[in-house]
Amino acid sequence: MMKKTIVFTGGGSAGHVTPNIALINEIRPEWDIYYIGSKKGIEKELIQKINVPYYGISSGKLRRYIDVENVKDVFRVMKGCVEARKILKKIKPNLVFSKGGFVSVPVILAAKSLKIPVFIHESDITPGLANKISQRFSTKIYTSFEETIKFFPKQKTTAIGSPIRKEILKGSAENGRSLLGFNKETPILTIMGGSLGAKKINEAVRSSLKELTVNYQIVHLCGKNNVDKSFSNISGYKQFEYVHEELSDILQATDLVITRGGSNAIFEFLALKIPMLIIPLSLKQSRGDQILNAKAFEEKGYSLTLQEDELNEETLVKSINKLNSNKVVYKNNMKESSSGEALQILVEEMNQFGSSLSK
């Protein structure tokens, strides 16, 4: 049987790329795979690490506010469309799959002009601007949240959860504790503020260490250039800029997690059944999608929410203790969720689509 060809797109943040990588790792045997992203975005580095042919195109930032750069970006998007169309004509894919981000718009417009089917996935409760634009050109739309369906054409939209990297589920708690030098008796609290860290969360955690380390062993993934060596000798506290292969082991050993409200991250913690304290980006830093994601998870009984504007030493410690006291309830609620099936659903849909092309 001849392999089918698929082009993935999406970028601007790791959250737009890691679900694509999860899918790529699953469908490699059945598909020839290519990736179109921006010329300098984080997606280029991440995709090249997994040995997938990568094409960079021009892309403008999609802004919701008036800015002189918007005019320049119209021309960047137009240039990106021309570049993407040229690449697609050369590759001749049977399908384009998009995770959103501003770089995906030129690719989807080019695919539509060449009559190439497009599948898109929206991670957040409210769609990002890229997927708002792309929906009319898509063949199928998938969402992480049931609440998101109302923003898209109902007849081609399905809520499936978020595609989770399989390797994140295969860690060893024993290996995680050994790596950290932690014991089995004291709860392990992991803090993850994203690949670049989170300044306010980092500061609040470090100012609370004296109280927190009485009851918790702490793993602090604080982001690039954010390790503070003055805290290196504190017992029960380990800090890293970032971890790669060891992350699955650390998460298997983790009892509680502090996280931002990015959809891909919180769905991974849901799949791992780790109770979460979600500290979403504020409206000063985002369009509010993380606040809505956190609200949805809290209402389902998977997490607690602490708004960044209310974050300080006292509220942080109080929220962590509350989460720990009720962790059995959160874990039981998480066991009722079926959202961990998203990856398998997408793989089956893609392979079914590929099989239909041979008939």
2-17 confidence digits (pLDDT tens): 789 999 999 877 778 8
pLDDT at 149 over 80: yes
**Going along 144-236, which residue ranges are E strands?**
157-159, 188-192, 217-221
Residue 90 domain flag: yes
Residues 40 and 188 placed together within one structural domain of the fold: no
C-alpha dist (Å) from residue 184 to 174, 176, 179, 216, 217: 9, 11, 13, 11, 10
Other C-beta atoms within 10 Å of 136: how many?
Answer: 10
Structural domain of 305? 167-339
Split at pLDDT 50, 70, 90, the class of 58 is confident
Do 9 and 98 belong to one domain? yes
Please indicate, yes or no, whether residues 105 and 191 belong to a single structural domain of this protein: no
Tell which wins on pLDDT, 97 or 198: 97
Q: Is residue 357 part of a domain?
A: no
Q: Residue type for 316, please?
A: L
Q: Buried b / exposed e across 188-216, counting CB within 10 Å, b at 16+?
A: bbbbbbbebbbeebbebbbebbeebbeeb
Give the whole-number percent of the chain exceeding pLDDT 70.
93
* Among 90-94, 106-110, 199-203, 251-255, the least confident range: 199-203
Q: Are residues 257 and 129 in the same domain?
A: no
What pLDDT, on a 0 to 100 scale, did the predictor assign at position 337?
A: 84
Q: Are 192 and 250 found together in one domain?
A: yes
- Asked whether residue 196 carries a pLDDT value surpassing 60, the answer given is no
Q: Which helix (H) or strand (E) holds 121?
A: strand 118-122
Residue closest to 192 by CA, chosen among 181, 203, 202, 180: 202
Q: What is the CATH number of the domain that holds 287?
A: 3.40.50.2000
pLDDT(154) > 90: yes
Task: Give the per-residue pLDDT at 73.
Answer: 66
* Res 69: pLDDT: 54
Question: Of 141, 159, 177, at which residue does a domain stop?
Answer: 159
Q: Kindly indicate the confidence band of residue 358, based on its pLDDT and cuts at 50, 70 and 90.
A: low
Q: How far is CA 203 from CA 193, 305, 319, 352, in A?
A: 12, 18, 16, 49
Does the structure show a pLDDT above 80 at 70?
A: no
Any domain includes 225? yes
Longest dimension (CA), the chain: 66
- Are residues 162 and 99 in contact, defined by beta-carbon separation less than 8 angstroms? no
For the four alpha carbons of 324, 319, 261 and 151, in that order, the dihedral sign comes to positive
Angle at 22 between CA 272 and CA 131, to 5 degrees: 100
pLDDT band at 287 (very low <50, low <70, confident <90, very high): confident
- Cα–Cα distance between 221 and 55 in angstroms, integer? 31
User: pLDDT averaged over the chain?
Assistant: 90
- Whether residue 1 has pLDDT greater than 60: no
With pLDDT > 90 as the criterion, what percentage of the chain qualifies? Answer: 71
Last residue of a domain, one of 159, 186, 202: 159
Same domain, 193 and 316: yes
Mean pLDDT of 299-319: 96
Counting runs of H as helices and runs of E as strands, what totals does the chain give?
14, 13
The total domain count for the chain is 2
Decide if 359 is inside a domain: no
pLDDT band at 194 (very low <50, low <70, confident <90, very high): low
The rounded distance, in Å, linking the Cα atoms of 340 and 328 is 20
Q: Is residue 199 part of a domain?
A: yes
Whether 345 is in a domain gets the answer no
Residues 6+ apart with CB under 8 A from 319: 277, 304, 306
Query: Is there a domain that residue 12 lies in?
Result: yes
Q: In sequence order, what are the beta bridge partners of 356?
A: none
217-259: pLDDT as tens digits: 999 999 888 899 999 899 999 999 888 889 999 999 999 999 9
186 contacts: CB under 8 Å, gap ≥ 6: 215, 216, 217, 236
181 in a domain, yes or no? yes
3-class DSSP state of 158: strand
261 vs 68, 269, 290, CA distance in Å?
Answer: 30, 11, 4
Same domain, 188 and 151: no
pLDDT of residue 355: 82
Do 126 and 171 lie in a common domain?
no
pLDDT at residue 327 above 70? Answer: yes
Tell me: do 186 and 147 sit in the same domain: no
Ramachandran angles phi, psi of 273, nearest 5°: 60, 45
Q: Are 260 and 241 in contact (CB under 8 A)?
A: no
How far apart CA 122 and CA 149 sit, in angstroms, is 10
Q: Specify whether the CB–CB gap between 52 and 24 falls below 8 A.
A: yes
Mean pLDDT in residue range 338-347: 86
**Average pLDDT of the residues in 93-111:** 94
Same-domain status, 181 and 139: no
Considering the domain architecture, whether residues 80 and 189 belong to the same structural domain is answered as: no
What is the full DSSP assignment across 12-46? SSGGGTHHHHHHHHHHTTTEEEEEEEESSSHHHHH
For residues 4 and 312, what is the distance between their CA atoms, to the nearest angstrom?
53
114 and 85 in contact (C-beta within 8 Å)? yes
Residue 67 has pLDDT above 70, yes or no: no
Contacts of 251 (CB under 8 A, 6+ apart): 168, 171, 176, 190, 257, 269, 272, 274
Q: What is the pLDDT of residue 36?
A: 96
pLDDT of 66 > 70? The answer is no
Of the three residues 111, 131, 159, the one that is the final residue of a domain is 159
Is the pLDDT at 103 greater than 70, yes or no?
Answer: yes
Are residues 190 and 144 both part of a single domain?
no
